[in-house]
Amino acid sequence: MADSVYINNIYIPDEKVLRNLANVLINFALNSGQGIKKGEVVYVVLNEIAKPMILPIQEAILKAGGHMILNYLPDWLERDRDATRLFYQLANEEQLNFFPEEYIRARVNTMDHMVQLLSSYSHNYYKDIDQNKIAQRNRVWKKYMEMRSKKEYEGRLTWVLAEYPSPAMAEAAQMTIEEYWDQVIKACYLDEDDPIAKHKETMQRIQTIQQKLNSLGIESLHIEGEDVDLKIVMGESRLFVGGTGRNIPSFEVFTSPDARYTSGWIRFNQPLYRNGQVIKGIKLEFEEGKVVNFSAEENYEALKAMLETDEGARRVGEFSLTDKRFSKINKIMANTLFDENFGGEYGNTHIALGQSYRDTIANQEKYSDEQLKEMGFNDSAIHVDIISTSNRRVTAKLKNGSEMVIYENGEFQGLDV
């Protein structure tokens, strides 16, 4: 295997790492841990920093007998005039509302799987862009998410999201690019001779936790700690989900609770990285399921614009816990995908504002959208994860009236795992 190299001042890890990552994405993450099948179409989205992954991904798809459709997003042309930034600078109302429905529908109909391998060359590339424009664009493109979600929940589409480390990501995390990659390599088992076997082993352990939680008959959760006093109602037919392969890495166990009844408050000790903005010191207060008060120590206006995207943007679409025993990530990565899988001393919790996940509903296929709404399923153009790594205890109230601590000091409790 070739050693790690620098090309045009960009660090590229060795060939084994790149091939292992491609293999994990194509032959493990897609199709819920089973990988793609012969003849299937994989739609791949990656940007310029992740360019070294194009050939390894293509190789993995071809060897599996699949077909690749590539959407390559250049971003290094001019730092202050990349395509997305230029769009928001110049787009008028008609352009902001443009949605090529027939083209997008054809894309969704064609693909069997989707890989998003994204990266970032700056955490502040939208710092002077009107956040309301971004929120408006998200509302317009919600139709794309609905098309994808419908096909996914019919069992005809799977997807995976991963991040390719960049110098900007490393700088934001106060690491060298080599140190940053080292965290990713360990977390994704990319230094293993058989990383897929390791992922499957971890997936099985997480699914065991998920199954045991679902067998308890949980009615509600009380999350307590120095940064939180929050009550969440599970809701009708709710499930905990984990080990799906949708994210690489992924160590979380999550649910989409009844969005009508969240109450209390939570303060997040980790920043939110969204739309080229860094929002720090977020605190949310809930009453009857809705954010009624909010604050941020930095970039308050960006948080405000996000919460005003639509009605569902102020309600909880996901509650998640990560057990520190599974994750090898022990440094804050300044990236939502990695930080929501942080292990460290206390694991982590994250709450997503916005869209609920349909697969957290048992037998979801038998419910109409209107029935799901009546069950407290949240609908929104956004799904935004906000992370806390401070210590917390989670107490479950069970349907039989008893209470049980299910999570404390960064680990699930009482489940014999």
Q: Global pTM?
A: 0.92
**Separation between Cα atoms, residue 122 and residue 167, nearest integer Å:** 9
pLDDT of residue 122: 72
pLDDT of residue 21: 98
pLDDT of residue 248: 96
**Separation between Cα atoms, residue 198 and residue 186, nearest integer Å:** 11
* 290 closest CA partner among 376, 195, 204: 376
* 355 closest CA partner among 333, 336, 339, 373: 373
pLDDT of residue 93: 97
pLDDT tens by residue, 340-369: 999 999 999 999 999 999 999 999 989 999
pLDDT of residue 76: 56
Kindly state the tokens that stand for 192: 């293993």
Taking CA 132 as the corner, what is the angle to CA 148 and CA 376, rounded to the nearest 5 degrees?
Answer: 50
* 236 closest CA partner among 61, 58, 360, 98: 360
Kindly state the tokens that stand for 236: 């009708």
Domains in the chain with CATH codes: 5-193 (3.40.1830.10), 197-412 (no CATH)
- Point out the residues of the chain with pLDDT beneath 70: 1-9, 75-81, 123, 417
Q: How many CA atoms lie within 13 A of 84 on its CB side?
A: 17
pLDDT of residue 152: 94
Kindly state the tokens that stand for 372: 């799901």
pLDDT tens by residue, 56-93: 999 999 999 999 999 998 765 555 567 788 899 999 99
Cα-Cα-Cα-Cα dihedral sign, residues 314, 401, 236, 411: positive
